[in-house]
Chain A
Amino acid sequence: MVKGLSPQEARARLNLIGRFLYDARAIDLWERDTKTLPWIFRRLRRKYRKFAQETIAPLALKSDSDPHQIDVKEIFLKAAREGLETELMPYPIGTGNPIALAKSFLLGPILKAEEFCAACAGIGLALLAHDLGIAPLFISGDPKATFKWMRRIYGEILNGEPAIAAFAITEPEAGSDAEETLGASRARVGCKAQRVKGGWVLNGRKVFISNGRVAKWITLFAALEGEGMESWTCFLLDKSMKGLSVGRSERKMGQRAADATELVLEDVFVPEDRVIGPVRGGWAINRNVLNYSRPVVGAIALGIARGAFERCLEFCHKHRLNDRPLVSYRYVQLELADMLIKIQAMRAMVWQAARYKIPFQTAGSAAKVFCSDMAWEVCNQAMKLMEENGFLHCHGIEKAARDARLTQIYEGTNQINRLAVVEGQLNAEFNIPDFYED
């Protein structure tokens, strides 16, 4: 019926140059996008996908329905053996590719997050939160943190130890306040550090800490006694420290393979050399870690959406409605196209964030907000398209929706991140003189 009219047939009538300029090849978008990357990232992307498909995907549904049956440390060690948990530093400290790190510090973690979370966002988060826990060590710019502590932690991992790290900022009375300027200025700080001979004594509680239960190392932020968040200081703790205990692990709606756990500090003595960066430098380190981590959260959301799309597409091919495959209905094609468009836009956004040599607040928050909102929409579209099959656990779509919902909350709610966009461009574009006078 359409003989001679399809793009492929029409293209065939052109001469060599015309054909060269008219790309109508049947290549999936994953491959097309991969080909646009520098070769080192192409290789990395394929490596991440292979690991995700072989190791993470088979555990996805079980890790959601029965997270306690999943040994996160074992998965972590598998990833570590592939060099995937020591990538933030090159040899001799870690396994990161120096060319890749020099080209774009964020692109590697972004590619990893998409692939891991397309397979399972819960396991993906557990593996990625380790990088978040490590991030303050080099973002602080403190040579001791990098050459002493990072070397030690990565050394343990390379020796086969599950030396998982966690990043601890959220407190029971300070959730969003730990992630925004105005909130921080008025926050009720709960976690306090008091100077003593040879170091510091820490007291307080941290909540919702990803990997809090399984982590050995924790980068934790506390205010100095009698001061507010402007005095936040970053400390490197390890679980063997006396007075540091693990409280309750939350029962979450999604991303269930990664624990979100309370940490309780009761007179924890932290030696002086465990201070990361300068005393009172913690707030800056925290803010900058968020600049680096928010595009990765965007990539987590992107991965979740892509995973949902792929599973939905597979379902639409297999499932029949009135003796026709669902995918042959035009309304289904329209919906699938809309989902794919959103996923492409998400990827463009996070890859763009990775193109900046140094990540910054606006790019990170914008990518995080856009991608998490889009992921929620894509998962909801998939659920609606699949009708009652959409809410059945076996198809993995409802899990994706539950997983996606968290990306709108953590690393600062999307409302906080919108404010961060304004603040990020405050002096360059918005020019709002009373922004800090709420």
Chain B
Amino acid sequence: MNIVEAFARTAKIFAEKEVSQGKAPQVLLAKVQELGFFDKDYGIWSLKNLGETALASYALLKELAKEDASFALMVHSVAINNQLGTYVALERLAVHLNGKNDVINLPAGEVLTDFTAFELVPRMGLKRCRLIRIEGGKTKEKIERSKALLFTKIHIAGICAVALGSAEKALSIAKRYSEERYQGGKVIKEHHAVKILIGEALKNIRISSMALERALENLRETPMTDLLSLWEHVRPACANTVSNCMQVLGGYGYMEDFGIEERLRDALTLRGLPPTGKRLLILLEEEVYG
């Protein structure tokens, strides 16, 4: 078993046994620590052997996100903190466990201190993690540009992995439901409308996974334009996937019971993390022209 399979399998067992039980995040984070996933040399997003650990970290975050996207995002944030010594923010937005410690604002690479942290509440989704906006603050120092860019890529890849994991779980819920629910005298998976919805969801997930895995194989060398493109593609694709899955479940999907509506709220919140939309496309264009 290689490291990617080991991470994925352990994370899957942990997610299904522990995360799905809705335990307190601090308890779960301590268990992740016990499992060694926060190890600086061999843990999530370890720089020592980034080629393998990047794919392993991606697989792990996806498994955790299948049960709880908020928790997966926390694990991602803490893992980066372990590697860098501080939390990171992208465009002054961070998943920060206490809202007080220093933050590296990406992609500028400034280490910010004495800032005011505004918790973004109440919000649509990702309700179990602490999402803050940093305002003001002093620049203590700057980290190397290459390091700042690498961690921008890691940050983007991790959030995309969380979005994908959550969407994959939504698809598995929709598939199961479509095999059990009868309408028009047959299980709904036999209806063309449902086949199209699930087919499109699957297409979104496959394209996003393939592209993300390709980028992660050699993250150091993957151009920033690729990561920004993934950032713009994967999150809306995942949101569309979850939306399709909700449509498969119809009225039941819109209710809290089946867990699809929460995944849709999470997906839309992930999609809203800046930069996004047309502004991101402009950034992308500027990146292309240097």
Contact = CB atoms under 8 A, between A and B. Distances in A.
Interface of A: 65, 170, 173-177, 180, 182-183, 185-188, 207-208, 250-254, 260, 331-332, 334-335, 376, 380-381, 383-388, 390-394, 398, 401-402, 405-406, 408-410, 413-416, 418-419, 438
Contacts of B279: 331, 387
Interface of B: 93, 120-125, 133, 182-186, 191, 193-194, 197, 239, 243, 246-247, 250-257, 261, 264-265, 268-269, 271-279, 281-282
Contacts of A385: 277-278
A388 B251 contact: no
Nearest to B193: A415
B247 A413 contact: yes
Given A173-B182, A385-B277, A393 B123 contact: yes
A409 B250 contact: yes
B261 A393 contact: no
A408 B272 contact: no
Nearest to B278: A331
Nearest to A61: B122
Nearest to B277: A384
A398 B124 contact: yes
Contacts of A398: 123-124, 268
The 6 closest A-B pairs by CB, nearest first: A186-B185, A384-B277, A415-B193, A183-B184, A253-B261, A398-B124
Nearest to B93: A388
Given A253-B261, A335-B277, A387-B276, A182 B184 contact: yes
Contacts of A186: 184-186
**Interface residue SS majority, chain B:** helix
A375 B254 CA distance: 17
A378 to B, nearest CB: 13
If over half of A's interface residues share one DSSP class (helix, strand or loop), that class is named, otherwise mixed; here it is helix
B248 to A, nearest CB: 9
A379 to B, nearest CB: 10
A427 B79 CA distance: 63
B251 A208 contact: yes
A390 B254 CA distance: 20
Given A183-B184, A387-B272, A391-B272, A409 B120 contact: no
Given A251-B257, A388-B93, 13 more contacts: A65-B122, A176-B250, A183-B184, A208-B251, A253-B261, A331-B281, A335-B278, A386-B272, A391-B120, A392-B120, A392-B124, A405-B246, A438-B184
A259 to B, nearest CB: 12
Contacts of A401: 124, 268
A169 B271 CA distance: 36
A195 B193 CA distance: 38
A186 B182 CA distance: 10
Given A388-B133, A393-B124, A175 B268 contact: no
B277 A251 contact: no
Contacts of B121: 392
A402 B265 contact: yes
A388 B272 contact: yes
29 contacts: A174-B183, A175-B252, A176-B184, A177-B183, A185-B185, A186-B185, A251-B255, A253-B255, A253-B256, A260-B251, A331-B278, A331-B282, A335-B278, A380-B239, A383-B271, A384-B277, A387-B272, A387-B279, A388-B93, A401-B124, A405-B254, A406-B254, A409-B246, A409-B253, A413-B193, A415-B194, A415-B247, A419-B193, A438-B184
